[in-house]
Amino acid sequence: MNFKITRRQFPFAFFGTAAAALEAHAADAVADFFKGKTLTLIVSSAADGGYDRLARAVAKHMFAHIPGKPEIVVRNMPGAGGIIAANYLANGANKDGLVIACLQANTALEPLLGAKQAEYDANRINWLGTPSVETGLLMVMQKSQVNTIEDATKTPLKAGTSGHNSAPAFFARLLNETLGTKLEVVVGFRGQAGAWQAMEKGDIDTYGMTYWSSLTSARKKWLQDKTVRILLQYGPEKVGELQGVPYAPDLIKNPADKAFFEAATLQMSLGRPFAAPPGVPADRVAALRKALMATFNDEKFQRDVRRIGLLVNNPRSGEQLQQQIANAYRAPSDTVARLRRIANPPRS
């Protein structure tokens, strides 16, 4: 059957065909670039933690969704609560699309909080997406004499962290300010895994802030054996499995404190974000974003993360994260000032 294109229809048919051709050419260009290459996925934490396990699961499956199917290798770059890796991503990594990172969510807001070590503009980083939102926990070993969050407002607890400005240190001070807990920040531990080992030895009482997803992936046996006691949960949503564990926003009565707490925990809605450096060509950023979301929806990837206890409970696109981060940097000045005060307290 023959179809006749009228003069009125021709421009639309022509431009539609041209656009499709340009899109196909762009896809081919991206595939040609990545083909035969090696992509480095940086993890901003030490090995054997939740971030590391997630990154390695992503690396195992994401290559198949990137045009050209590059090999992916994982490199750990812990330190300063993720800031070292974020600095490298923004200032040291090649801006060709062959370096991406799995960053701690706090790194997106560190410049806003006035962290002097954060030498990057979070709004210029190309955010690629996240598999989940996070819920923070305050927990102690079962042998601890602290049984409730009320006890933690009366009994000092040594809270291990990697650095003075790390996310666990920030959240420990946030709980002290809004709930009256007596968490004493102790720095110098090699990430979450190192702090957990110190908890087992009795050197410290708690980690400054543990993500529920990290606990279920890296220390699932602690839950099964009831090795730890969870005193508190906080973040954008409650965990269904933690029935009976107090939820911090429900305990904060002062409206100003509650609004402040919500702003301070905003980073948890960023989950475990993946990002690419500033300046990566837009077509490669788009391809990486699409590949990451396809990975999160990949049945084989989902089976792997379920097997190791990781959460993929609420994937969000890079565009969503980019907008959310931009909104955070437009927060009222008084809120920002208060956030900066607990993020950067005077050192004794």
Q: CATH number of the domain at 136-267, please? A: 3.40.190.10
Query: For the chain, what is the radius of gyration of the CA atoms?
Result: 22
What is the per-residue pLDDT across 36-72, written as a single tens digit (0 to 9) for each? Answer: 999 999 999 989 888 899 999 999 999 999 999 999 9
Q: In this model, does residue 35 exceed pLDDT 60?
A: yes
pLDDT reported for residue 25: 57
Q: What share of the chain is helix, strand, coil (3-state, %, to 5)?
A: 45, 15, 40
Angle between helices 255-264 and 167-179 (to 10 degrees): 170
> By three-state DSSP, how is residue 42 classified?
strand
pLDDT reported for residue 314: 86
> By three-state DSSP, how is residue 172 classified?
helix
Residues of the chain with CATH 3.40.190.150: 11-132+271-343
Return the C-alpha torsion angle 56, 62, 68, 70, nearest 10.
0
Confidence bin at 286 (pLDDT 50/70/90): very high
How far apart, in Å, are the Cα atoms of 132 and each of 5, 28, 186, 308? 49, 31, 29, 15
Which residue in this structure is represented by tokens 């900066």? Answer: 340
pLDDT reported for residue 165: 75
pLDDT reported for residue 24: 59
What is the model's pTM? 0.75
Residues 6+ apart with CB under 8 A from 200: 141
- The C-alpha atoms of residue 233 and residue 239 are separated, in whole angstroms, by 8
Which pair of structure tokens corresponds to residue 272?
């475990």
CATH architecture of structural domain 11-132+271-343: 3-Layer(aba) Sandwich (3.40)
Residues of the chain with CATH 3.40.190.10: 136-267
What is the per-residue pLDDT across 156-184, written as a single tens digit (0 to 9) for each? Answer: 999 999 888 788 999 999 999 999 999 99
Nearest to 219 by CA among 2, 49, 18, 3: 49
Q: In this model, does residue 230 exceed pLDDT 60?
A: yes
pLDDT reported for residue 311: 78
